[in-house]
Amino acid sequence: MKLVFIFLYLILSLHFESSEAKCHKNTVAFQNNLTLSKSVLKVHCKSRDDDLGDHFLRFQDAAYNFSFHDHFILYTRFKCILSKGANLEYHKTFLGYEADKYRRCGALYAWEARDDAIYLSTKDEPIKLMYSWDKD
Ligand SMILES: *[C@@H]1O[C@H](CO)[C@@H](O)[C@H](O)[C@H]1NC(C)=O
Ligand SMILES: *[C@@H]1O[C@H](CO)[C@@H](O)[C@H](O)[C@H]1NC(C)=O
């Protein structure tokens, strides 16, 4: 009986490893394109398990990004807060990433902060306006 479990465990972990190797991580990226204000952009994302801390991007800095695999059982989500303005008085909280029923592999969610609003593009979708800024 015990042997059956060990055998099952081996099969499952082999399967897990090979699908992990084939499934590229998903990436969420943030870009400061605050063309007019040239404001600093503050990015703070967290999931159930990880708090990624504060990141500050100057105008046209290289994108800040992070990558991860979708969780097998629990829906992976990253809640993000973007802030801009001289006193970071403009901000928006939203889901920077939310898993679907199907496990995604190699997805790219590219968020772009512009003066008027926050935009998103993905591998499949051209850039579109998603959220406007809230002000204190
Ligand atoms: C920056 O935003 C402007 C519009 O404000 C847009 O035309 C331009 O393509 C954006 N640049 C980048 C690098 O995304
Ligand atoms: C993510 O950041 C790395 C460097 O930190 C960069 O080389 C890579 O091009 C970035 N990827 C995206 C999708 O922005």
Domains detected in the chain: 25-135 (2.60.40)
Q: Supply the residue whose CA is at minimum distance from atom 11 of ligand 1.
A: 33
Average pLDDT over residues 76-99: 97
Mode of pairing for the β-strands spanning 26-33 and 108-114: parallel
Q: Which residue has better confidence, 42 or 19?
A: 42
Q: CA torsion 70→75→76→81, rounded to 10°? A: 160
Which tens digit of pLDDT belongs to each residue from 2-36?
A: 777 666 766 666 666 556 668 999 999 999 999 99
Residues 6+ apart with CB under 8 A from 62: none
Q: Write out the two tokens for 95.
A: 């889901």
Q: What is the pLDDT of residue 1?
A: 64
Distance 33 CA to ligand 1 centre (A): 6
pLDDT > 70: percent of the chain = 86
29 in contact with ligand 2, CB cutoff 6 A: yes
Q: What is the pLDDT of residue 14?
A: 60
Average pLDDT over residues 103-126: 96
Ligand located closest to 27 CA: 2
Are residues 131 and 120 in contact, defined by beta-carbon separation less than 8 angstroms? no
Average pLDDT over residues 81-100: 97
121 in contact with ligand 2, CB cutoff 6 A: no
Nearest to 112 by CA among 32, 40, 53, 8: 32
Res. 43: pLDDT tops 80: yes
In which band, very low, low, confident or very high, does the pLDDT at 73 lie, cut at 50, 70 and 90? Answer: confident
Res. 102: pLDDT tops 80: yes
Q: What is the pLDDT of residue 30?
A: 98
Ligand 2 site-directed mutation target among 30, 32, 65, 112, most atoms within 8 Å of CB: 65
